[in-house]
Amino acid sequence: MMSKQQVLVGLVNLGCPKNQVDAEVMIGILQSSGFKVTVHTEEADILIVNTCGFINSAKEESIDTLIELSALKETGRLKFLVAAGCLAQRYDETLLKELPELDGVVGVGDFPKIAEICRRLIEKEATRVRLTDSPTFLYDESTPRVRTTARHWAYVKVSEGCNYRCSFCAIPSFRGDLASRTPASIVREVEQLADQGVREINLIAQSLTSYGWDRRDRNALVGLLKQLVKIREIEWIRLFYTYPTDFTDSLINLIASEEKICKYIDLPLQHIDDHMLKAMHRKGTAKDIRGLIDTLRTRIPNVTLRTTFIVGFPGEGEEMFQALERFVEEIEFNRLGVFQYSPEEGTPAYSLGDPILSREKANRRKRLMDSQARISRKLNRRKLGEVLTVRVDGSSPETDLLLEGRTQGQAPEIDGVVYLNDIGSGPVPNAGDLVRVQITATHTHDLIGQIISQPALL
């Protein structure tokens, strides 16, 4: 029988940044419990796959990954394979039945027990483990966590679950209702991250603008942000997953006036046709959405707007899609993502079936993404010759250019980057430094520039 000190545990993370935080917590718990963690799957005695169960494509990726990695039981040293996360929570019994290669499933509220599960497996206390009873776990500043992002930026998850019931979304059925961390816990975590060298915080939640509403505090996000901006070492704070009808004047005013809060708003809209919005159980109307966008752009100059849409929802006729297409061309979002609708068990829309053919959904997605590519190229060309503040991320893994970085309008690992092909006469800046960059060339999503002033001169 192997001891914990002899066992190598590998973890493969799939899905969104919220999943990434869960994965980092699992790594922290494993290491604090005496397990060694490896990034090389072929070395692992135990492999944990943190799965995504949001839509069909994500579920398929998760299952394919589990099947692919299970082959290491024959070709490598792998002894135990565990599915964790959203897919495990949604389909625990089905996964164990259909995938005999699996030795355990761990849901979204039970992953803090991951070290105990690994111990039970290696000590043969159980042949297969199923822990999916707890839908919600709120980590805090004392929870072990090993970050997998760069040293100078981090995700901070402020809440779990969601009280909205969009008809296409199954997440509340397995992530539960909204449960917010205390402001004090979040502030202490960010202070700890600042002490570790983090300079950029990316706040995430299922619905960030609902933060604190479960405690009947509709102004909780504003209050939290006012505390976070006081942490001296933190230079950028970015907001992800904001719900369009949740914006208040005080939040907009704070984003506009506080230099540490990135002028970047992630605003998933899903559609613009009123019939579709109602069918999707989305709050607000097309008029409300247009009014919000106008307000944000008027009161927050040079704001970067990112959104997502769903195409192929049941009942989306060609005229409704064309209205969405015209809206995208008119508004000219800086960033845009498009999902193809997939029917999800347990959602109100599931009974509507999936009447729009897959090839039509793929065509609609392509039309929107092609439009967005043209818009992105145009918006980037306008930056030619501008001087922008850029956070250096380090050496570029994609090109022969020396470095790459991001503006406030470019979220890490999601949006484009600024390639730095000329660092000027000064020393090579460190990852995390802020530099001033003149843009010398542009592409569809990325920019190229030369550094004209180093951190000490900003």
The residue type found at 112 is P
- For residue 123, the number of C-alpha atoms closer than 13 Å in the C-beta half-sphere is 10
Q: DSSP assignment of 418-432, as one string? A: EEEEE-TTSPPPPTT
The structure tokens listed for 80 are 């135990």
CB atoms near residue 307 (< 10 Å): 22
Residue with tokens 């793929």: 362
Determine contact, residues 262/239, Cβ cutoff 8 Å.
Answer: yes
For β-strands 434-442 and 418-422, DSSP reports them as: unpaired
Q: What is the CA radius of gyration of the chain?
A: 23
Q: Does 4-131 match 153-381 in CATH topology?
A: no
Positive or negative, the CA dihedral 121, 123, 124, 126 is: negative
Fold classification of 4-131 (topology level)? Rossmann fold (3.40.50)
The residue type found at 152 is H
Alpha carbons 419 and 402: distance in angstroms, whole number: 8
The structure tokens listed for 206 are 């299922």
Q: How far apart are the first and last CA of the chain?
A: 59
59-69: buried (b, 16+ CB within 10 Å) or exposed (e) per residue?
A: beebbebbeeb
Determine contact, residues 62/25, Cβ cutoff 8 Å.
Answer: no
In 37-182, alpha helices (H): 56-70, 72-75, 86-90, 92-98, 114-122, 171-175
Alpha carbons 330 and 322: distance in angstroms, whole number: 12
Instruction: Work out the angle at residue 137's Cα, subtended by the Cα atoms of residues 131 and 138, and round it to the nearest 5 degrees.
Output: 165
Q: Is 356 helix (H, G, I), strand (E, B) or coil?
A: coil
State residue 318's pLDDT score. 97
Reading the chain (458 residues) residue by residue, the pLDDT tens digits are 555 568 999 999 998 999 999 999 999 999 999 999 999 999 999 999 999 988 889 999 999 999 999 999 998 899 999 999 999 999 999 999 999 999 999 999 998 999 999 999 999 877 788 988 877 899 999 999 999 999 999 999 999 999 999 999 998 988 899 999 999 999 999 999 999 999 999 999 999 999 999 999 999 999 999 999 999 999 999 999 999 999 999 999 999 999 999 999 999 999 999 999 999 999 999 999 999 999 999 999 999 999 999 999 999 999 999 999 999 999 999 999 999 999 999 999 999 999 999 999 999 999 999 999 999 999 999 999 999 999 999 998 877 668 999 999 999 999 999 999 877 777 889 999 999 999 999 999 999 999 998 765 44
Alpha carbons 258 and 238: distance in angstroms, whole number: 12
Alpha carbons 328 and 336: distance in angstroms, whole number: 9
The residue type found at 210 is S
pTM attached to this predicted model: 0.94
Alpha carbons 240 and 73: distance in angstroms, whole number: 39
**Could you say which of 3.80.30.20, 3.40.50.300, 3.30.70.3190, 3.10.620.30 is the CATH number of the domain covering 153-381?**
3.80.30.20
Determine contact, residues 430/392, Cβ cutoff 8 Å.
Answer: yes
Determine contact, residues 421/400, Cβ cutoff 8 Å.
Answer: no
Report which of 285, 334, 337 is spatially closest to residue 309, judged by C-alpha positions. 337
Compute, in degrees rounded to 10, the torsion defined by CA atoms 338, 344, 346, 351: 100
Q: Which helix (H) or strand (E) holds 135?
A: none
Domain positions in the chain are: 4-131, 153-381, 387-457
**Could you say which of 3.40.50.300, 2.40.50.140, 2.60.40.150, 1.10.540.10 is the CATH number of the domain covering 387-457?**
2.40.50.140
